[in-house]
């Protein structure tokens, strides 16, 4: 059974159509790149999967169920923005995740934090932007979830942090789970992707395995992306 399934999923914001009849199914054990330019509907799709938005029509299912507290218990979500509670220190953040998520592996999180030399008494307010990004990623990846939804995990960070983030993702995710990475920075993530989905103006422009693109089209995912989403003609 797919861990994430969309059936004719449509979302309108007033007159604006953010997703238009999207059909897709993502199986466990795959790392999927949800790729598209800004405004293509990536974040909307991820918010719908988390129940942060409601579809205008169609449905989105997590393990066969509509988003609910039960599905949120198996989904680990990294939002595009820093959603940590700013007055809490590292230890309190770990307590918070441990309290609410049965699949949270505190030891793994503590090891990663120690590796980065982040003091447990430091509050989120006292952290730099990069440290906050890493902290949030560590909390999300320390869960043994069935579906990881990572919205722009490498957007707005320096190349070294980008490498750290990608390394953390591939070395910590539950191999039986599916990982969906939404980004427009294709070149950075291309090597870790099993499958890619191109979203364009709310519609799926392409769904394929990364290897298939390289073998059949003889191009990298990044090159194909640039071709599909070309902004002007020469």
- HEC profile of 24-93: EEECCCCEEEEECCCCCCHHHHHHHHCCCCCCCEEEEEECCECCCHHHHCCEEEECCCCCCCCCCEHHHH
Q: Which is nearer to other proteins, 13 or 191 (CB)?
A: 13
Pairing of strands 16-26, 75-78: unpaired
> Which of the stretches 43-51, 106-114, 163-171, 181-189 binds other proteins when contact is defined by CB under 8 A?
43-51
Stretch that binds other proteins, among 64-72, 183-191, 206-214, 216-224 (CB under 8 A): 64-72
Question: How many chain residues interact with other proteins (CB under 8 A)?
Answer: 27
Question: Is 51 an interacting residue with respect to other proteins (CB under 8 A)?
Answer: yes
Distance of closest approach, residue 145 Cβ to other proteins, in angstroms: 11
Whose Cβ is closer to other proteins: residue 178's or residue 196's? 178
Find the shortest distance in angstroms from Cβ 209 to other proteins.
29
Question: Under a CB-based contact definition with an 8 Å cutoff, are residues 13 and 2 in contact?
Answer: no
Q: What is the DSSP string of 170-220?
A: HHHS-TTSEEEEEES-HHHHGGG-SEEEEEETTEEEEEEEHHHHHHHH-S-
52 touches other proteins by CB under 8 A:
yes
Query: Which among 5, 123, 124 is positioned nearest to 55, based on CA atoms?
Result: 5
- Comparing CB distances to other proteins, the nearer of 89 and 200 is 89
Hey, what are 101's tokens? 């998520």
Could you give the 3-state DSSP secondary structure of residue 107? helix
Which residue reads 């003091």 in tokens?
A: 119
Site string for other proteins, 76-115 (x = CB under 8 A): -x-x-xxxxx-x----x---x--xxx--------------
Closest distance of CB 55 from other proteins, Å? 11
Based on the shown chain and the rule CB under 8 A, indicate whether residue 70 belongs to the binding site for other proteins. yes
What's the number of CA atoms in the CB half-sphere (13 Å) around residue 134?
Answer: 22
53 is a site residue for other proteins (CB under 8 A): yes
Residue span binding other proteins (CB under 8 A) among the ranges 52-60, 169-177, 187-195, 207-215: 52-60
- CA–CA separation, 158 and 145 (whole Å): 27
Q: Which residues contact other proteins by CB under 8 A?
A: 13-14, 47, 50-54, 68-70, 72-73, 75, 77, 79, 81-85, 87, 92, 96, 99-101
């Amino acid at each position: 059974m797919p861990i994430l399934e969309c059936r004719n999923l449509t979302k309108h914001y007033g007159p604006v159509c953010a997703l238009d009849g999207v059909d897709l199914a993502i199986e466990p054990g795959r790392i999927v790149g949800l790729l598209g330019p800004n405004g293509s509907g990536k974040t909307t799709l991820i918010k719908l999967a988390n129940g942060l938005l409601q579809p205008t029509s169609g449905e989105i299912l997590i393990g066969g169920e509509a988003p609910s507290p039960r599905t949120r218990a198996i989904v680990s979500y990294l939002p595009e923005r820093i959603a940590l509670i700013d007055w809490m220190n590292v230890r309190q953040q770990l307590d918070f995740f441990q309290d609410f998520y049965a699949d949270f592996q505190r030891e793994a999180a503590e090891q990663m934090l120690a590796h980065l030399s982040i003091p447990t008494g430091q509050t989120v307010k006292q952290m730099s932007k990069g440290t906050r990004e890493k902290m949030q990623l560590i909390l999300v990846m320390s869960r043994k979830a069935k579906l990881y939804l990572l919205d722009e995990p490498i957007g707005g960070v320096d190349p070294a942090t980008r490498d750290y983030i990608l390394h953390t993702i591939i070395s910590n995710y539950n191999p039986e789970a599916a990982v969906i990475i939404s980004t427009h920075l294709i070149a950075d993530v291309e090597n870790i992707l099993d499958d890619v989905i191109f979203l364009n103006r709310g519609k799926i422009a392409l769904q394929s395995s990364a290897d298939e693109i390289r073998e059949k089209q003889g191009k990298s995912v990044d090159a194909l992306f640039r071709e599909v989403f070309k902004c002007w003609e020469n």
